[in-house]
A and B are shown apart, each in its own frame.
Chain A
Amino acid sequence: MGGQRAQVIDERGGRPAPPGVAIPAGPPPELVFKRRLRPLQVAHELWAARELVRALAERDLRARYKQAVLGFAWAVLTPLALCAIFTLVFHRAVKIETGAAPYTLFAYVGLIVWQFFSNTMNQGALSLANNLSLLNKVYCPREVFPLATMLVATVDMAIGIGVLGLMFLVFWTAPAATFLWAVPLLLIQFAFTYGIALILSVAVVYLRDVRHLLPIITQMGVFATPVAYPLAKIPHRLQEIYVGLNPLGAVIEGYRKALLYGEAPDGRMTLIAAASSLVFLVGGYLFFKKLETGIADVA
Chain B
Amino acid sequence: MSRDYPLGTIRTEQVWKRFRADQQRMLLRDRVEQAARRLRGDRGEDWRWALRDINLHIEPGESVGLIGSNGSGKSTLLKMLTRVMYPYAGIIDVRGRIGALIEIRAGIHPDLTGRENIYLFGALLGLKRREVAGRFDDIVEFARLGGAIDRQVKFYSSGMQMRLGFAVAAYLEPHVLLVDEVLAVGDAVFQQRCLDRMREVAEQGTTIVFVSHDLPAVQSICRRGVWLEQGTVRVDAGIKDALAGYRDSIEAQSEATARVGEPLSLLTYEVRGETGEETLHTDEPVTVELTLGGDYRGDATLHLGVSEGTSSPIFQISHEIRMTGGDHRVACVIPRLPLPRGRYTLWAGVYSIGKTDGGTLMSWHSAGQFDVFGPMLDTPPRAVVLAAPVFVPHQWEE
Chain A interface residues (CB < 8 Å from chain B)? 1-2, 5-6, 8, 10, 12-19, 23-24, 26-28, 31-33, 48-49, 51-52, 54-56, 58-59, 62-63, 66-67, 133-140, 293-294, 296-298
Contacts and interface: CB of A to CB of B under 8 A. Distances in A.
B84 A5 contact: no
A206 to B, nearest CB: 10
B135 interface: no
Interface string B1-45: 000000000000010100110010000000000000000000000
15 contacts: A8-B235, A16-B237, A23-B53, A27-B89, A52-B123, A55-B124, A59-B116, A62-B116, A63-B111, A63-B112, A134-B107, A136-B102, A137-B100, A137-B107, A297-B85
Contacts of B207: none
B90 A33 contact: yes
Chain A to chain B: the 5 pairs with minimum beta-carbon distance, closest first:
A27-B89, A14-B236, A55-B123, A63-B111, A5-B245
B159 interface: no
Interface of B: 14, 16, 19-20, 23, 52-53, 55-59, 62, 79, 82-91, 98, 100, 102-103, 106-107, 109, 111-112, 116, 119-120, 123-129, 152, 224, 226, 229, 232-238, 241, 244-245, 248-249, 252
B82 A137 contact: yes
B53 A27 contact: yes
Nearest to B94: A139
A33 B87 contact: yes
B84 A31 contact: no
B106 A31 contact: no
Nearest to A65: B111
Q: Is the interface of B mostly helix, strand, loop or mixed?
A: mixed
Nearest to B55: A15
A137 B56 CA distance: 21
Contacts of A6: 234-235, 245
Contacts of B20: 297
A140 B248 contact: no
Given A56-B120, A62-B116, A296-B84, A14 B90 contact: no
Given A27-B88, A66-B152, A138-B107, A12 B224 contact: yes
A19 B234 CA distance: 7
A5 B91 contact: no
B90 A27 contact: yes
Contacts of A5: 235, 237, 241, 244-245, 248
Contacts of B116: 58-59, 62
Nearest to B52: A23
Contact of A138 (B86, B125, B233): B125
Given A12-B57, A66-B152, A31 B91 contact: yes
B16 A133 contact: no
A293 B55 CA distance: 21
